[in-house]
């Protein structure tokens, strides 16, 4: 122990200027090698190659506050190349974010603060969960949109900051990055600066195997500024960053030509430095060439800590100056400051329920209405009261009913706009929504057809993994969208979305349930929500004489008894349905309960289950009160039926889709695939009579 302290105290002592900078860079390289070696797993090459770039960025340009990691005035740093996570962990350790040397030693170990790829919900100072390449790139664009929007709406001297990212060759190969880059250039996000680790190596070998385009020409075509530097020449990196932050007209991509695994005598510049440890012998030789002590591992020289202490003091001075500007703004414009503060907290109006529109029941004269149309009405009703609500559609504004009538459109000339035209870029839209959510102060939503949720599934999964509040407005939810045919008719998509942990899927059965679904989505702060909505008009239910609002409020419990032929008695048959099939279930139940046929069910119950995930979270007594454990349980959904066995049992009847849809009108398709009242009744009747007599 004493020997370790001696090395930490004496090694590098007295170094200043460029020599000290080099020692700081070598510290990052050594920590990264040691972390990967200790785990016997990881990617040492990227941190070793990008250490110079990261050092310049973090010690000279990036504005942070380790004592207040969520300081709203901080710059955002995204490590899109998440495989190089030891680079970020080393920086967080050196800069005082509370990540200890012991945490570094636990790299890639179960439940450690240093997982294999950065995870925002686990490690203080990590802005976004990255790993799947291209996602961090899109997240950064979302953060930059958030910053520009806030700066246009409030005091720019307080809310303006920059978004920096390190991106890899792999990031730039992924399609999501191209989508996001195109939109960033279109929006002229000038305070967005990306540093490309241009090391020419991917897992398979040289990037020339599959990647030979002129990347900088491509980005210039997108509307970006570009530069090319030697990534191991700190003076060049410094000059390029200074130029990038001197303007706000366009986003900037700086190609930093680096050597992966820089300093490793036999593995630098090769794929062997990418995805596996260097090995003990290579680490030993690398440290010897660096003039670095072989022991102790995870060494941080005292002089390096002192250099970082200087940087932390600079950050605190910058924070104090920001606090003074904040105070001046609060005094001069208290109402504006209060609105910003409220937006940052994500607070919703205390009377949100009263802001929701009430849709008249069918018997009271209410006309049928598609749930996508009802969603648009709800969205516009609550929008004025939720300052952080922002979003748009992937070129389907009218089809998704996402248009905000009182909101202006976000553009390079109107940064304050709260409606975003994402273009036909579903994957980027999902990733940008995550960036908006991660930035803080926003409740983002994005619309597309349910069938195209496949394009953004990667981003949806990361939102669920990262516990992000994002809302997906997914319309045209079934085969009943009609003539567009099976390419546009989602069959497996609801089951696929329901399979994602921490994603709540809501498929409301009428307009009233749609209003409550929006309330759930807005209030749900620990994960994303998918609203699955119809194209075709649906009746607003006459809820068996009950208060329609009071009964629809049960949407918040995921499932509830919508109708029962004989109230107060145990049911003989339970029919569960969602969305447009809920009205089919109700009409079929009424026919089954009133027909004159031997062995018919005497008491039929219809259960609306807009969200199986929320219903599963209810206590068992409530679940059994809605769906008792009787043999006669039926589920109806015009989709694949995976997952429904939980609610109807192995012997229950599942009326769904076994294949793809077809072109035709909704009525033709209902007849073709067995979703008419006579067809449903015939299936249920034959199945019910085959059961043993239900328990009463």
Q: Does residue 365 carry a pLDDT above 60?
A: no
335 within a domain of the structure (yes/no): no
Predicted local confidence at residue 34, as pLDDT: 98
Mean pLDDT score of the chain: 95
How far apart CA 490 and CA 578 sit, in angstroms, is 15
Is residue 115 domain-shared with residue 166, that is, in the same domain?
Answer: yes
Domain count, the chain: 3
Residue 592 CB burial class (10 angstroms; 0-12, 13-18, ≥19): buried
Is residue 171 domain-shared with residue 140, that is, in the same domain?
Answer: yes
Is residue 525 domain-shared with residue 566, that is, in the same domain?
Answer: no
**Averaged pLDDT, 387-392:** 98
Bridge partners (DSSP) of residue 370 are: 537
How far apart CA 586 and CA 61 sit, in angstroms, is 63
Q: Does residue 235 carry a pLDDT above 50?
A: yes
HSE (side-chain half, CA atoms, 13 Å) at 485? 2
Predicted local confidence at residue 372, as pLDDT: 98
Q: What range does the domain containing 606 cover?
A: 557-689
Is residue 288 domain-shared with residue 382, that is, in the same domain?
Answer: no
Is residue 483 domain-shared with residue 565, that is, in the same domain?
Answer: no
* 553: confidence class by pLDDT, cuts 50, 70, 90: confident
* 360: confidence class by pLDDT, cuts 50, 70, 90: confident
Is residue 522 domain-shared with residue 576, that is, in the same domain?
Answer: no
Q: Read off the CATH number of the domain in which 443 is found.
A: 3.40.50.970
Q: How far is CA 256 from CA 21, 165, 196, 227, 335, in A?
A: 18, 12, 6, 9, 45
Is residue 299 domain-shared with residue 432, that is, in the same domain?
Answer: no
**Tens of pLDDT, residues 396-431:** 999 999 999 999 999 999 999 999 999 999 999 999
Is residue 69 domain-shared with residue 202, that is, in the same domain?
Answer: yes
363 within a domain of the structure (yes/no): yes
The structure's pTM equals 0.97
342 within a domain of the structure (yes/no): no
Q: Does residue 200 carry a pLDDT above 90?
A: yes
* 363: confidence class by pLDDT, cuts 50, 70, 90: low
**Tens of pLDDT, residues 11-58:** 999 999 999 999 999 999 999 999 999 999 999 999 999 999 999 999
696 within a domain of the structure (yes/no): no
Is residue 185 domain-shared with residue 100, that is, in the same domain?
Answer: yes
Q: Does residue 696 carry a pLDDT above 50?
A: no
Q: Does residue 443 carry a pLDDT above 50?
A: yes
Sign for the CA dihedral angle at 91, 95, 97, 98 comes to positive
DSSP structure class, residue 411 = B
Q: Read off the CATH number of the domain in which 569 is found.
A: 3.40.50.920
- Residue that is last in its domain, among 487, 505, 538: 538
Is residue 455 domain-shared with residue 505, that is, in the same domain?
Answer: yes
* 583: confidence class by pLDDT, cuts 50, 70, 90: very high
Q: Which of 402, 445, 613, 584 is nearest to 510 (CA)?
A: 584
Q: Does residue 550 carry a pLDDT above 50?
A: yes
Question: DSSP H helical segments within 417-565, as ranges?
Answer: 426-439, 457-465, 493-498, 511-523, 548-552
- Residue that is last in its domain, among 476, 503, 538: 538
What lies within 8 Å, CB to CB, of 60 at 6+ separation is 238, 241
Is residue 484 domain-shared with residue 561, that is, in the same domain?
Answer: no
Q: Is 426 a catalytic residue?
A: yes
634 within a domain of the structure (yes/no): yes
Is residue 179 domain-shared with residue 295, that is, in the same domain?
Answer: yes
Q: Please give the share of the chain, as a percent, with pLDDT higher than 70.
A: 97
Out of 119, 426, 581, 637, which one is annotated catalytic? 426
135 within a domain of the structure (yes/no): yes
Region label for 506, one of left (φ > 0), alpha (ψ between -120 and 50) or beta (otherwise)? beta
Q: Does residue 543 carry a pLDDT above 70?
A: no
156 within a domain of the structure (yes/no): yes
Q: Specify the length of the chain in residues.
A: 696
Q: Does residue 362 carry a pLDDT above 70?
A: no
Give all strands (DSSP E) within 609-651, no chain letters.
633-636
Q: Which of 260-264, 327-331, 552-556, 685-689 has the lowest mean pLDDT?
A: 552-556
495 within a domain of the structure (yes/no): yes
Region label for 478, one of left (φ > 0), alpha (ψ between -120 and 50) or beta (otherwise)? beta
């Amino acid at each position: 122990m004493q020997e370790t302290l001696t090395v930490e105290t004496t090694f590098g002592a007295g170094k200043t200027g460029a020599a000290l900078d080099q020692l700081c860079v070598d510290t990052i390289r050594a920590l990264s090698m040691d972390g990967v070696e200790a785990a016997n797993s990881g990617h040492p090459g990227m941190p070793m190659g990008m250490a110079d770039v990261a050092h310049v960025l973090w010690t000279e340009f990036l504005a942070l506050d380790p004592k207040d990691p969520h300081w709203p005035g901080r710059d955002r740093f995204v490590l899109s190349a998440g495989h190089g996570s030891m680079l970020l962990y080393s920086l967080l350790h050196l800069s005082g974010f509370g990540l200890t040397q012991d945490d570094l030693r636990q790299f890639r170990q179960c439940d450690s603060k240093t997982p294999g790829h950065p995870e925002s919900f686990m490690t203080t100072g990590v802005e976004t969960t990255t790993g799947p390449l291209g996602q961090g790139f899109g997240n950064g664009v979302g953060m930059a949109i958030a910053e520009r929007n806030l700066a246009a709406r409030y005091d720019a001297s307080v809310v303006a900051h920059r978004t920096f990212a390190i991106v890899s060759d792999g990031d730039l190969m992924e399609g999501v990055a191209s989508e996001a880059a195109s939109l960033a250039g279109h929006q002229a996000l000038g305070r967005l600066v990306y540093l490309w680790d241009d090391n020419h190596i991917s897992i398979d070998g040289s990037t020339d195997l599959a990647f030979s385009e002129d990347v900088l020409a491509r980005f210039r075509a997108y509307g970006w500024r570009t530069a090319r530097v030697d990534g191991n020449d700190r003076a060049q990196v410094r000059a390029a960053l200074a130029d990038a932050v001197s303007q706000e007209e366009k986003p900037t991509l700086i190609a930093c030509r680096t050597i992966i695994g820089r300093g490793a005598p036999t593995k630098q510049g090769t794929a062997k430095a990418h995805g596996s440890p260097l090995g003990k012998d290579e680490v030993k030789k690398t440290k010897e060439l660096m003039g670095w002590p072989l022991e102790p591992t995870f060494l941080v020289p005292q002089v390096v800590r002192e250099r970082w202490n200087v940087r932390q003091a600079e950050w605190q001075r910058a924070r104090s100056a920001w606090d003074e500007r904040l105070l001046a703004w609060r005094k001069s414009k208290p109402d504006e400051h209060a609105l910003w503060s409220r937006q940052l907290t994500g607070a919703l109006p205390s009377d949100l329920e009263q802001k929701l529109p009430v849709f008249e029941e069918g018997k009271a004269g209410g006309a049928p209405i598609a749930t996508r149309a009802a969603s648009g009405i709800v969205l516009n009703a609550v929008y004025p009261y939720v300052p952080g609500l922002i979003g748009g559609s992937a070129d389907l504004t009218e089809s998704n009913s996402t248009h905000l009538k009182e909101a202006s459109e976000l553009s390079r000339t109107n940064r304050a706009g709260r409606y975003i035209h994402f273009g036909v870029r579903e994957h980027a839209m999902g990733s940008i929504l995550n960036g908006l959510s991660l930035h803080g102060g926003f409740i983002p939503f994005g619309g597309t057809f349910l069938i195209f949720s496949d394009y953004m599934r990667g981003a949806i999964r990361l939102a669920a993994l990262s516990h992000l509040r994002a809302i997906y407005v997914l319309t045209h939810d079934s085969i009943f969208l009609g003539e567009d045919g099976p390419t546009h008719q989602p069959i497996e998509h609801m089951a696929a979305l329901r399979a994602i942990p921490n994603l709540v899927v809501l498929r409301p059965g009428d307009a009233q349930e749609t209003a409550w679904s929006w309330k759930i989505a807005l209030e749900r702060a620990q994960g994303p929500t998918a609203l699955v909505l119809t194209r075709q008009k649906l009746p607003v239910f006459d809820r068996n004489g009950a208060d329609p609002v009071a009964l629809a409020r049960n949407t918040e419990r995921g499932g509830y008894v919508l109708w029962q032929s004989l109230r107060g008695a145990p049911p003989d048959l339970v029919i569960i349905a969602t969305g447009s099939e809920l009205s089919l279930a109700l009409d079929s139940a009424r026919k089954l309960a009133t027909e004159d046929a031997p062995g018919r069910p005497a008491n039929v119950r219809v259960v609306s289950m807009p969200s199986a995930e929320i219903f599963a979270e209810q206590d068992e007594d409530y679940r059994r009160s809605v769906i008792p454990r009787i043999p006669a349980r039926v589920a109806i959904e015009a989709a694949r039926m995976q997952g429904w066995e939980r609610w109807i049992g192995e012997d229950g009847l599942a009326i769904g889709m076994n294949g793809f849809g077809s072109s035709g009108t909704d009525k033709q398709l209902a007849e073709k695939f067995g979703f008419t009242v006579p067809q449903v009744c015939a299936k249920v009747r034959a199945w019910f009579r085959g059961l043993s007599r239900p328990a009463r």
